[in-house]
Amino acid sequence: MAAAPFIEAAFGRPSTHTPVWFMRQAGRSLPEYRALRGNGSILDAIKQPDLAAELTLQPVRRYGVDAAVLFSDIVVPAHAVGFGIDVAPGTGPMCTQPLRTAADLARLRPFDAEADAPYVAETVRQLAGELPAEVPLLAFAGAPFTVASYLIEGRPSKTYVNTKRMMHTDPKLWNAVMERLVQHAVESISSQLRNGARAFQLFDSWAGALSAADYQSLVQPHSTAVFSALRAAFPDVPGIHFGVGCDHLLEHMHAAGPAVLGLDWRTPIAQARRRMGDGLVVQGNLDPALVLAGTDTALAGTRAVLADNANPNGSKHPGHVFNLGHGVQPEADPDVLAAVVRLVHEATAA
């Protein structure tokens, strides 16, 4: 398999240019996505391999990004085992009956990727056959905490009251839920990797809602279990760990064992390396709001991120995967994102 800039950078090795991809690069910001996607639940689109593969490829073609990210969602395993969760357009994941008791946990049975969600494996196989060698397919799953927060709250939440209540009043049930979700994440990512994905990201998007102490005792061991299992089974596959508003947790998320630490826009790259070592490989971290502020502002922000990644001698640090600090907003102008990709490629060309 030819060297891909994404894989080289993810292991901190020099590459021909700084690789770039965008979280949520597939989605409503693209007119070709809106034309093809239709109205139903995103979970129904994910069940159609031809459609899901095409939606994955749209941003690769348009932007020339250095990675494709599987068109799927973090709630797919819970949905596929019949827990009773769907994604409401414009709102997010919703459960018919949230997870509050041990009896509810019984509805969240272990996940068997090829039997419960054969359509995902089929989509991955199609993509692995179509993508050029220098554009790897990224597998992903939701981290145990972020998926648990949706299952327990039953809907998107700002306060996570029910989740935190379970963490603090019934740690036995909490840890059992987390162990089940470790199995889901490991099984989901393993299956994507077996079928042709070449790197993965574990999304702990909402872990920033936790104190460092709670994260360390009640979440970190479970995220560590995911990275340990995947590193043992796929030692040559780099993993990324990402969350939003997690500056106070970065050392702990790094300790969970990813090859690459995702940063949102709040944490300067140079500061992360001062804290966790100059060898730290990072992903990020242009503020997605700057993409909405027009091309000039977005490109100035892009230059600032590249400068933040520079070595003391001004050369680029090899351990950088360029991305936004969170997902592309539906209102984003694809032409602005295309200009960002061109600038990253041109400014960092070896």
Residues known to be catalytic: 24, 28, 37, 73, 150
Angle, in degrees to the nearest 10, between helices 118-130 and 171-194:
40
When asked if residue 205 is in the footprint of ligand CP3 (CB under 6 A), the reply is: yes
What is the smallest separation between the CB atom of 278 and ligand CP3, expressed in angstroms? 28
What is the smallest separation between the CB atom of 6 and ligand CP3, expressed in angstroms? 15
Options 25, 163, 195, 267; binder of ligand CP3; rule CB under 6 A: 25
Helix ranges (H only) for the chain are 5-10, 31-37, 42-46, 49-63, 76-80, 102-106, 113-116, 118-130, 144-153, 161-169, 171-194, 212-218, 220-233, 250-255, 269-276, 288-291, 295-308, 334-348
- Rounded Cα distance, 19 and 322, in Å: 6
Task: Provide the Cα torsion 109, 110, 114, 119; round to 10°.
Answer: 50
What tokens appear for 318 in the block?
Answer: 């090899």
Q: Which is nearer to ligand CP3, 28 or 231 (CB)?
A: 28
What is the smallest separation between the CB atom of 169 and ligand CP3, expressed in angstroms? 25
Which residues touch 105 (CB under 8 Å, ≥6 apart)?
Answer: 99, 173, 176, 177, 180
- Rounded Cα distance, 267 and 248, in Å: 10
What is the smallest separation between the CB atom of 131 and ligand CP3, expressed in angstroms? 15
Q: Which is nearer to ligand CP3, 159 or 169 (CB)?
A: 159
Question: How many Å from the N-terminal Cα to the C-terminal Cα in the chain?
Answer: 21
When asked if residue 93 is in the footprint of ligand CP3 (CB under 6 A), the reply is: yes
Options 73, 104, 187, 308; binder of ligand CP3; rule CB under 6 A: 73
When asked if residue 269 is in the footprint of ligand CP3 (CB under 6 A), the reply is: no
- Rounded Cα distance, 18 and 344, in Å: 7
Options 64, 89, 171, 279; binder of ligand CP3; rule CB under 6 A: 89
When asked if residue 266 is in the footprint of ligand CP3 (CB under 6 A), the reply is: no
Q: Which residue is nearest to ligand CP3 (CB)?
A: 205
CB 26 within 8 A of CB 46: no
Options 57, 69, 78, 143; binder of ligand CP3; rule CB under 6 A: 69
When asked if residue 288 is in the footprint of ligand CP3 (CB under 6 A), the reply is: no
When asked if residue 136 is in the footprint of ligand CP3 (CB under 6 A), the reply is: no
One character per residue 311-330, x = contact with ligand CP3 (rule: CB under 6 A): ----------------x---
Which residues touch 60 (CB under 8 Å, ≥6 apart)?
Answer: 68, 131, 135
Size of the chain, expressed as the number of residues it contains:
350
- Matching residue, tokens 């990072």: 282
Q: Which is nearer to ligand CP3, 204 or 308 (CB)?
A: 204
Q: Which is nearer to ligand CP3, 156 or 294 (CB)?
A: 156
What is the smallest separation between the CB atom of 314 and ligand CP3, expressed in angstroms? 32
Tell me the window of 10-18, 86-94, 111-119, 283-291 that interacts with ligand CP3 (CB under 6 A): 86-94
**Helical (H) or strand (E) element with 237:** none
Size of the site for ligand CP3 (CB under 6 A): 23
Options 26, 189, 226, 324; binder of ligand CP3; rule CB under 6 A: 26
What is the smallest separation between the CB atom of 271 and ligand CP3, expressed in angstroms? 22
Options 18, 53, 62, 71; binder of ligand CP3; rule CB under 6 A: 71
When asked if residue 140 is in the footprint of ligand CP3 (CB under 6 A), the reply is: yes
Tell me the window of 70-78, 115-123, 317-325, 338-346 that interacts with ligand CP3 (CB under 6 A): 70-78
Round the CA-based radius of gyration of the chain to a whole number and report it: 19
Angle, in degrees to the nearest 10, between helices 220-233 and 144-153:
130
- Interface contacts to ligand CP3, rule CB under 6 A: 23-28, 37, 42, 69, 71-74, 87, 89-93, 140, 203, 205, 327
